[in-house]
Chains A and B, each alone.
Chain A
């Protein structure tokens, strides 16, 4: 039995090594300094670069995170401070549902809400979709980080006659801040890898973005776009982009793990 269980662990981990090894081997030929400063090549004409995707991803993930953090932190505070309220139950439940929602549906939603009326795919639409995807993660992590703040700490603060809101802020700023950081990092990690919602909201730009209301490329879109086209150099560009993305994900994940000293229970790096 022990054997079977160890076997299942082995089977579970093998794909990780296969995928990472493959991405590294296939992606390395594309990597040069030009890969980070150039734009995608013509078919059969070298490897170019993916600056348009890198800057587009940074822009949209950055904006998405800026939108999601205040909302997520706010909701998280509410969940942890007023857990018995009906709103808390409903909203926290909704939050769980949203966290597992098919992201393509969120993409369609933003398409109808932003892209159709503004008559353009845009970084704003992409960022909004990513914000909705990040929001539940940030809310949940904030809630959990506040819930573990020892009750005695709060009682002490209250006993000193400090109003509740000040207590909460102090708690959030001091004790809960690493939890907050975890939430934000997890949100960024999740958003950076998203592809499907960006196809229907941000579209693609061959150049680094120059405005917020224009089509905007992203690293995942480049993988999808060039990875399914039948030219060898384009496929290598896609592997190179995949390598950049995987490296970013691993770094982010390791920062979450080691900087924040997260134990393996509780919040998971779900990306």
Chain B
């Protein structure tokens, strides 16, 4: 796979140097871009950082009347919606990945067609998921799923609220749909990277397909699948438009999964038009900074985990 030519560096000419400089500049440009993002977001939010300090994250008030801008409810909203998305999306995404990597061995054509369909899920723009979510999914949740949940699980605080359809739960469902392709694609590559010797050893002991997957493949791929999960989480945390349509955009601390909420990303979209002074604008940029740091941590974690598994076969999500 590796295509670099060792030793070729010696045969340098002016052309080579120019090429390396030019394409190297592009590579530096990418690093500079990320650093620039960090600097710009920090300087843009400085006023808010100075004004609110740590209270920005821990405080619960986003109030234009008192000029107080704290994002704890949005942090909770982001975590809740993403956790729901993982809870619903991970088993399904993993199932798809196992299907594509293991079951498909006997039925290649059908499997690759199904794989393509799952990939097409990722081709639908998020604004369309959001619009569909608002028009179709939210009323469905409100009229069918949520009343049922409330009836049977209403005794827990989690489902004790009047169903309105546009809430954290619906946001979690939309996000689950959107992260399934991410989780299934990465997990499939991870599973494909599990050496066949692992499987063969189990088969030779007379294990069934499922036992092979459960006892030989999945344990071996554990850390990689964890990485895929984290990548899915990253996508859920960063998703904006689909969530904006269905989450209800309520900036108060949500009381249950059936309460409308807000995430960090939806807060930016919804409050962008309401910022009118330097402090509220800076606060909004600081929301961006929090997302920047969150995305950085999540992606570094995911890359480290995924790379460890598939060091040789590079891939991206």
Of all chain B residues, the one with the shortest Cβ separation from A71 is: B26
Name the contact of A98 in the complex, choosing from B33, B291, B300 (C-beta under 8 A): B33
Contact A100 B295, beta carbon cutoff 8 Å: yes
Judging by beta carbons under 8 Å apart, are B28 and A91 in contact?
Answer: yes
B123 touches A269 (CB 8 A): yes
Binds B, one of A31-39, A44-52, A159-167, A209-217: A159-167
Give Cα A2 to B28, complex, Å: 48
Chain A interface residue count, Cβ-Cβ cutoff 8 angstroms: 107
Most chain B C-beta atoms within 10 Å of own C-beta, residue among A101, A102, A135, A194: A102
When distances are taken between beta carbons in the complex, the residues of chain B under 8 Å from A22 are 132, 135-136
Given contacts A15-B177, A100-B295, A91 and B31 within 8 Å (CB-CB): yes
Interface of chain A, helix or strand or loop or mixed? helix
Flag whether A260 is at the interface (Cβ < 8 A): no
Pair count A-B, CB < 8 A: 311
Query: Do A108 and B30 have beta carbons less than 8 Å apart?
Result: no
Residue on B with the closest CB to A106? B37
Inter-chain CA distance A146–B60, complex, in Å, is 51
Asked if A192 is at the interface of the complex by the 8 Å CB criterion, the answer is: yes
Q: Which 7 A-B pairs have the closest CB atoms?
A: A8-B95, A193-B125, A74-B26, A102-B238, A165-B19, A91-B27, A196-B240
* Chain B residues near A (Cβ < 8 Å): 1-5, 8, 11-13, 15-16, 18-20, 22-31, 33-34, 36-37, 40-41, 44, 91-96, 98-100, 103, 112, 114-132, 134-136, 177, 180-182, 184-185, 189, 192, 209-210, 231, 234-235, 237-241, 244-245, 265, 268-269, 272, 284-285, 288, 291-292, 295-296, 298-300, 303, 314-317
What would 14 more interface pairs be, CB under 8 Å, given A82-B20, A151-B3?
Answer: A8-B95, A8-B99, A11-B92, A77-B23, A78-B24, A79-B27, A109-B40, A148-B1, A224-B241, A227-B134, A245-B125, A249-B124, A264-B100, A269-B120
